């Protein structure tokens, strides 16, 4: 099962649209995970239309219309892998410990908010992934998203994709 993981898209405030390489990845993925800050419902509609399966949450920059359509936390099992998606996890200090306590029955936690790519594993075995942002890199050298593969309850082939400058 092929995953595409993104967050903090901020369309149309930070970009008019998603970069074409990300749209291409979305269209070929089995599952797309979006960890919030869509900003406009039109992007949610477009991603639903162009993806096979979309799992998303709302973020702090998402207004009432998106909050009505998306949960704060999404939980799903993908081929035996227990996944949670949330926008914000708080400060980076002790993040793994906090998240392991908050999501004890989870193998993978996808989060956003910081626009900073993140890939760590808590002592409990919880894997934490943040894809960065494909449209608003802030102080990061590149705009980014993640891809990964799930097979028999295991996550592998996690890859951070750098997007071309706009």
pTM over 0.85: yes
Handedness of CA 62, 64, 67, 68 (dihedral sign): negative
Distances (CA, A) of 164 to 18, 20, 38: 12, 10, 20
Domain-wise residue ranges, the chain:
2-163
Residues composing the chain: 166
Q: What value, to the nearest 5°, has the Cα angle with vertex 80 and ends 77 and 84?
A: 35
Closest C-alpha to 131, from 56, 49, 20, 48: 56
Q: Identify the segments of the chain with pLDDT beneath 50.
A: none
Q: Which CATH class is domain 2-163?
A: alpha beta
Over residues 117-160, the pLDDT tens digits come to 999 999 999 999 999 999 998 889 999 999 999 999 999 999 99
CB 111 within 8 A of CB 119: no
């Amino acid at each position: 099962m092929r995953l595409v993981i993104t967050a903090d898209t901020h369309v149309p405030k930070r970009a008019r649209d998603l970069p074409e390489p990300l749209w291409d990845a979305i269209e070929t993925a089995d599952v797309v995970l979006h960890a919030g800050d869509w900003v406009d419902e039109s992007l949610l509609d477009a991603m639903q239309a162009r993806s096979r399966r979309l799992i998303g949450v709302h973020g702090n920059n998402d207004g009432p219309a998106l909050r009505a359509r998306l949960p704060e936390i999404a939980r799903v099992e993908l081929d035996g892998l227990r996944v949670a998606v949330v926008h914000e996890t708080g400060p980076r200090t002790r993040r793994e410990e906090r998240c392991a306590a908050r999501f004890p029955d989870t193998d993978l936690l996808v989060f956003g908010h910081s626009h900073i790519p993140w890939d760590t594993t808590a002592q409990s075995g919880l894997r934490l992934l943040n894809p960065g942002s494909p449209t608003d890199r802030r102080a990061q050298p590149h705009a980014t998203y993640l891809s990964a593969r799930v097979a028999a309850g295991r996550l592998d082939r996690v890859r951070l994709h750098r997007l071309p400058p706009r």
